[in-house]
Amino acid sequence: MLAQALPHTDQPPWVRKVLLSHEGVLAVLLVAETVVFSFLGRNFWGAQNSGEMVRLSAEIGLLALAMTPVIVTGGIDLSVGSLMGLSAVLFGKLWRDAHLPIAVAALATLGIGALCGLLNATLITRLRIPPLIVTLGSFSLFRGLAEGITSATDNFTNFPERFLFLGQGYFFGGVPAQGPIFLAAAVAFWLLLHRTAVGRSLYAIGFSAEGARHAGIPVERRLGLVYLLSGLTASLAAIVYVSHNGQAKADAGTGYELRAITAVVLGGTSIFGGRGRILGTLLGLWAIVVLQQGLLLSDGPAELAGILVGVLLIVAIAANRLLRKGE
Amino acid sequence: MRILGLMLGAALLALVGCDKASGGGGPTASGKQITVAMMPKSKGNAYFIACKKGADEAAKELGVKLIWDGPTDPDPAGQNAIVDGWITRGVDVIAVAVENREGMSSVLKKARAKGIKVVTWDADTTADAREVFVNQATPDGIAKTLVDHAARLLGGKGEYAIITASLTAGNMVEWQKAIDKYNKEKFPDLKMVALRPCDDKQKQAFDEANNILNAHKTCKLLMAICSPAMPGAAEAVEQSGRTDVKVIGLGLPNDNKVFVKKGITEAVVLWKTADLGYLAVQAAVAVHKGTLKAGDKTFSGGRLQNLEFQGDNLLLGIPFTFDKTNIDGFDF
């Protein structure tokens, strides 16, 4: 398949275009990784592992999906990993200590996540503090609250089987239960970003917030929406995480914000805003997950994953730059 | 959209490939080399690195493939993800030092459901998620070793004080009770005069040890039963200049080497970490072969013979004492 797809001059122009796009480069990388690990890894090539990789990537994937519109507006949300910790702990508290039914506790947790996102948004839009600084503050604040509530030691466990299915169960014997959640979130964010006027306005804001304001776009409300969605998605990721691991502790999601940002940036979204696509984010995410899982299944040292993800990021971005120069 | 087409093509190819790898997680066919996947709480910890030495030794003796992997820092989610990977990869037996009892339980049950045998070592998960727990030390074994040392150093009678981590932590309370029981049974003239918590902090152990030395002039022995307390107590004894007071306790050789050499600390009690790793691999392989089951009475594996069980816990045996004659041979 790879050989056929190489850019020959006699091929239709769209093949060239696809291969020269950032997503095209990533897709080739992804196929290359898949081929390599199919040979090196045990049971890498197959449905079971595909399912496991979906499971492995669901939490960070959710964060990355919500991070894409944030970065498209030229912003950043560093607080999502910490918000996962806070959401996990509050979810555990609501369920175990407040004796709420698990579904009600989950809904309340989503509400809290949205509120936390709104807090970020308010500080960014009303007080005009740069997103990096606001979310660096809430990064510390949310984790601190999570640790404070539990004295950093309390651990919520023994969740009902019904709930654990969400993170550990399978549909039709092979599709991880979090798969449909992730798919729904991916479709929702794709529609928002690429098929609505709101989505288009986010790109305009990313290019120039002032310009967008002059063009009559309600910049504050749009920014409010993306940070609110980011918070909401972080708490959804937390619920999936708790169900997946069977425990809710203050350390949930530590470092996930950077992994999500890596996936987004690897996916071709410009950190300066104005450019980026959901498909790119998905490809970036999978390029990282395939690499990590592939190394694990070929008994490679886990530390190598960190190095290779770094190399991958730099190579992909450099390739993107070089290809764009040629245009 | 065209890229989507490309991806769809790749996905289709992946699906075609499914048949080849179906039934991936199951045990390998008999006759093939056994793969043991073994996990420490964290890879960087010197204690676990010392355990790995024994694990490697046992793997070599038994001719099995040993995969050693774990999170860099103690992290239940990290342990989970790696075990999940091992299930997909298809290993024969998994041996885990569990960071979080409940947090690991469901993924280990999933492994068992796929036909992979599971043992735990160093720290246990819930009993229904593994075959056996390789237990390095029981409260009774620890208590006996410590009190015997105390009695030997004090000549069978006198006063001693305990510095513990906390007055509420489960294992600490268990150990302290076992010490009290064995002491009263065997050495009625040996008397504990103080029990102080140090919150697992060396500085606080130092302060508590000072208080004890001042308040109980006739107390000749400090027994520190958590690892930060040992060097803390020894430091306090050294600074007080009291050469008649000795320190014993549970700790790591490296923390206490200087004090052992100065003659302040007489006995550092722990287990041979290499033996723990060795036994974990021996037990894992035996469980896989079916020669070791929960409910057995004794187990022999390689150089460790006739080890006893307590319920479904396989016991490493009585703890080991590091003192000035042997402590230089250990580095953890």
| Cα B138 off chain centre by | 11
Close Cβ partners of A81 (under 8 Å, ≥ 6 residues apart) = A63, A139, A143, A234, A253, A254, A255, A256, A257, A258, A260
Beta-carbon separation of A157 and B102 below 8 A = yes
Beta-carbon separation of A279 and B3 below 8 A = yes
pLDDT > 90: percent of chain A: 66
Beta-carbon separation of A48 and B25 below 8 A = yes
Across the range A4-20, mean pLDDT stands at 61
Does the structure show a pLDDT above 70 at B189? yes
Best B3, B79, B84 residue to mutate vs chain A (most A CBs within 10 Å): B3
Across the range B25-48, mean pLDDT stands at 75
The confidence score (pLDDT) of residue A152 equals 66
Does the structure show a pLDDT above 90 at A289? yes
By the CB < 8 Å criterion, does A140 face chain B? Answer: no
Average pLDDT, chain A: 90
Q: Give the residue carrying structure tokens 């950093």.
A: A152
The confidence score (pLDDT) of residue A109 equals 97
CB B15 within 8 A of CB A47: yes
Q: Write the pLDDT tens digit of every residue in A190-223.
A: 999 999 999 999 999 999 999 999 999 999 999 9
**A51 vs B147, higher pLDDT:** B147
Residue A273 burial (C-beta neighbours within 10 Å; 0-12, 13-18, 19+)? buried
Beta-carbon separation of A168 and B106 below 8 A = yes
The confidence score (pLDDT) of residue B227 equals 87
Which of 3.40.50.2020, 3.40.50.2300, 3.90.180.10, 2.40.50.140 is the CATH number of B26-137+273-317?
A: 3.40.50.2300
Best B89, B98, B114, B199 residue to mutate vs chain A (most A CBs within 10 Å): B89
Choose the closest CB to B88 out of A30, A48, A251.
Answer: A48
CA neighbor of B120 nearest in space, from B138, B102, B134: B134
- For residue A56, which residues of chain B lie inside 8 Å, CB to CB? 81, 84
What sign does the dihedral B2-B4-B8-B9 (CA atoms) show?
positive
The confidence score (pLDDT) of residue B16 equals 37
- For residue A164, which residues of chain B lie inside 8 Å, CB to CB? 106
Across the range A278-299, mean pLDDT stands at 92
| Cα B320 off chain centre by | 13
Across the range A316-324, mean pLDDT stands at 79
Does the structure show a pLDDT above 70 at B3? no
Choose the closest CB to B103 out of A18, A23, A246.
Answer: A246
Choose the closest CB to A245 out of B3, B15, B76.
Answer: B76
Q: Write the pLDDT tens digit of every residue in B118-137.
A: 999 998 998 999 999 999 88
CA atoms within 13 A on the CB side of B178: 18
CA neighbor of B152 nearest in space, from B246, B80, B54, B290: B246
Q: Where in chain B is the domain with CATH 3.40.50.2300?
A: 26-137+273-317, 139-270
The confidence score (pLDDT) of residue B150 equals 96
pLDDT > 70: percent of chain A: 94
Best A154, A157, A288, A292 residue to mutate vs chain B (most B CBs within 10 Å): A157
The confidence score (pLDDT) of residue A316 equals 82
- What does the alpha-carbon distance between residue A29 and residue A40 come to, in Å, rounded to a whole number? 16
By the CB < 8 Å criterion, does A297 face chain B? Answer: yes
Choose the closest CB to B110 out of A14, A45, A168.
Answer: A168
Tell me the pLDDT band of B43, cut-offs 50, 70 and 90.
confident
**A228 vs A174, higher pLDDT:** A228
- For residue B85, which residues of chain A lie inside 8 Å, CB to CB? 52, 293, 296-297
The confidence score (pLDDT) of residue B14 equals 43
Q: Per the structure block, which two tokens stand in for B111?
A: 């492994």
CA neighbor of A64 nearest in space, from A230, A264, A231, A229: A264
By the CB < 8 Å criterion, does A196 face chain B? Answer: no
By the CB < 8 Å criterion, does A88 face chain B? Answer: no
The confidence score (pLDDT) of residue A327 equals 55
Q: Per the structure block, which two tokens stand in for B247?
A: 């320190």
- What does the alpha-carbon distance between residue A27 and residue A285 come to, in Å, rounded to a whole number? 11
Across the range A255-262, mean pLDDT stands at 94
The confidence score (pLDDT) of residue A326 equals 59
Choose the closest CB to A245 out of B17, B20, B80.
Answer: B80
Q: Write the pLDDT tens digit of every residue in A21-73.
A: 888 888 988 999 999 999 998 888 888 888 889 988 999 999 999 999 999 99
What sign does the dihedral A291-A293-A296-A298 (CA atoms) show?
negative
Rg of chain B (C-alpha set) = 24
Q: Write the pLDDT tens digit of every residue in A103-157.
A: 999 999 999 999 999 999 999 999 999 999 999 999 999 999 999 998 767 788 8
- For residue B73, which residues of chain A lie inside 8 Å, CB to CB? none
- For residue A26, which residues of chain B lie inside 8 Å, CB to CB? none
Q: Nearest-CA distance from B98 to chain A in Å?
A: 13
Tell me the pLDDT band of A172, cut-offs 50, 70 and 90.
confident
In chain A the beta strands, taken as DSSP E runs, fall at: 170-171, 175-176
Beta-carbon separation of B76 and A55 below 8 A = no
- For residue A244, which residues of chain B lie inside 8 Å, CB to CB? 80
By the CB < 8 Å criterion, does A120 face chain B? Answer: no
Q: Give the residue carrying structure tokens 């500080």.
A: A123
**B295 vs A16, higher pLDDT:** B295
Long-range pairs of B257-265 with CB within 8 A, sequence gap ≥ 24:
B257/B327, B257/B328, B259/B230, B259/B231, B259/B234, B259/B235, B260/B322, B260/B323, B260/B324, B260/B327, B261/B324, B261/B327, B262/B238, B263/B324, B264/B234, B264/B237, B264/B238, B265/B230, B265/B234
- What does the alpha-carbon distance between residue B9 and residue A27 come to, in Å, rounded to a whole number? 11
By the CB < 8 Å criterion, does A29 face chain B? Answer: no
Q: Nearest-CA distance from A223 to chain B in Å?
A: 28
Q: Nearest-CA distance from A205 to chain B in Å?
A: 25
Beta-carbon separation of B6 and A296 below 8 A = no
- For residue A21, which residues of chain B lie inside 8 Å, CB to CB? 3
Q: Per the structure block, which two tokens stand in for A221?
A: 């409300």
Does the structure show a pLDDT above 60 at A1? no
Does the structure show a pLDDT above 90 at B224? yes
Q: Domain B139-270, what fold?
A: Rossmann fold (3.40.50)
The confidence score (pLDDT) of residue A11 equals 61
Beta-carbon separation of B103 and A244 below 8 A = no
Q: Write the pLDDT tens digit of every residue in B249-287.
A: 999 999 999 999 999 999 999 998 899 999 999 999 999
How many A×B Cβ pairs under 8 Å?
Answer: 113
Which residue of chain B is at minimal alpha-carbon distance from A164?
B106
Beta-carbon separation of B88 and A241 below 8 A = no
Judged by DSSP in three states, A32 sits in: helix
Which residue of chain B is at minimal alpha-carbon distance from A18?
B3
Does the structure show a pLDDT above 90 at B222? yes
Does the structure show a pLDDT above 60 at B4? no
Per-window interface: A 214-243 vs B, CB < 8 A? 241
Beta-carbon separation of B103 and A43 below 8 A = no
Q: Nearest-CA distance from B102 to chain A in Å?
A: 6
| Cα B156 off chain centre by | 31
The model carries a pTM of 0.77
What sign does the dihedral A36-A39-A42-A47 (CA atoms) show?
positive
Q: Nearest-CA distance from B60 to chain A in Å?
A: 18
- For residue B80, which residues of chain A lie inside 8 Å, CB to CB? 244-245
What sign does the dihedral A119-A125-A131-A136 (CA atoms) show?
negative
Tell me the pLDDT band of B229, cut-offs 50, 70 and 90.
very high
Beta-carbon separation of A43 and B82 below 8 A = no
- What does the alpha-carbon distance between residue B330 and residue B254 come to, in Å, rounded to a whole number? 8
CB B221 within 8 A of CB B245: yes
Q: Residue B249's beta-bridge partner residues?
A: B224, B268
H or E element: which one contains A219? helix A219-245
Q: For residue B28, give the DSSP letter.
A: P
Across the range B241-254, mean pLDDT stands at 93
**B107 vs A20, higher pLDDT:** B107
Per-window interface: A 31-60 vs B, CB < 8 A? 31, 34, 38, 41-50, 52, 55-56
Torsional class of B213: left (φ above 0), alpha (ψ -120 to 50), beta (otherwise): alpha
